[in-house]
Structure 1
Amino acid sequence: MLAITDLAAEAIKTLTTDAELPEGGGLRIAAPNPDQGLELTLAGQPAQDDVVLSGDGVSVFLDATAAAVLDDKVLDVQQAPTADGGQELRFAIAPQQPGAGV
């Protein structure tokens, strides 16, 4: 099952609060075309067939394809350089490390 780091959970909390989503809203990860990557959006509620991960005030909704692709992964947040020389935070997906406790 997809693991979520504390940093990613905090970022999701901030995004959902800033977007004023209803209680139970969260980050939705879908794979409409898995060869093209994943699609992240904010959603007020999960789609009917979504896998719902929740805890510590954070909800993540995964469509069936994304759930299968991310089964052994970790959702994290990393700093990335911007074109103007600054930094921004981006979600990142990495393999789970055995025994890491994430």
Structure 2
Amino acid sequence: MLTLTDNATAIVSTLVSRQSEAPDAGLRIHSTATPGADGGARLAVLVTADPEPQDQVVEISGTRLFLDEEAATALDDKVLDAGVDDEGAVSFAVMPKVA
């Protein structure tokens, strides 16, 4: 199952609370129509009040993530990290889980 670093947990929680007042809001990670350069899933994120009907819901330390089927498969054994640059832009990184 996808795990989050402490940074990612804090950043996702902040993003969701600033962009939605819905009590069950979360960050939705979904596949895009265009595959990545390696042919794998290219993923996008958005804050949403509710998951889509087929989304897998992952809750980590009160942070809710909604993963579509491709994202859930692509991220199953991964760690999500996040950072904020000097201009306030958020970036995410997907890393392999260390055994």
- Normalising to structure 2: TM-score of the pair? 0.83
- Identify if the C-alpha distance between structure 1 residues 87 and 65 changes in structure 2 by more than 3 Å, giving closer, same or farther: same
1:54 Cα deviation from its structure 2 partner: 0.6
Amino acid at match of 1:43: T
> Does the CA contact (< 8 Å) of 1:21 and 1:43 recur in 2?
no
Structure 2 matches for 1:45-84, cutoff 5 A? 45-78=50-83
Structure 2 matches for 1:23-42, cutoff 5 A? 23-33=23-33, 35-36=35-36, 37-42=42-47
Q: Higher Cα Rg: structure 1 or 2?
A: 1
Q: Which runs of 5+ in 2 are unaligned?
A: 37-41
- Equivalent residues, number: 94
Instruction: Give the secondary-structure state (helix, strand or coil) at the position aligned to 2:7.
Output: helix
Q: Map Cα deviations across residues 31-84 of structure 1 (whole Å, 9 max, x no partner).
A: 13361410111110100010000132210000001100111111101355x7xx
Task: Quote the residue 2:16 is aligned against.
Answer: 16
CA distance in 2, matches of 1:32, 1:79: 23
Amino acid at match of 2:20: E
Task: Quote the residue 2:92 is aligned against.
Answer: 91
- Normalising to structure 1: TM-score of the pair? 0.81
> Does the CA contact (< 8 Å) of 2:20 and 2:47 recur in 1?
no
CA RMSD for the aligned pairs?
Answer: 1.9
Q: Percent identity?
A: 33
Choose 10-19 or 88-97, whichever is displaced more: 88-97
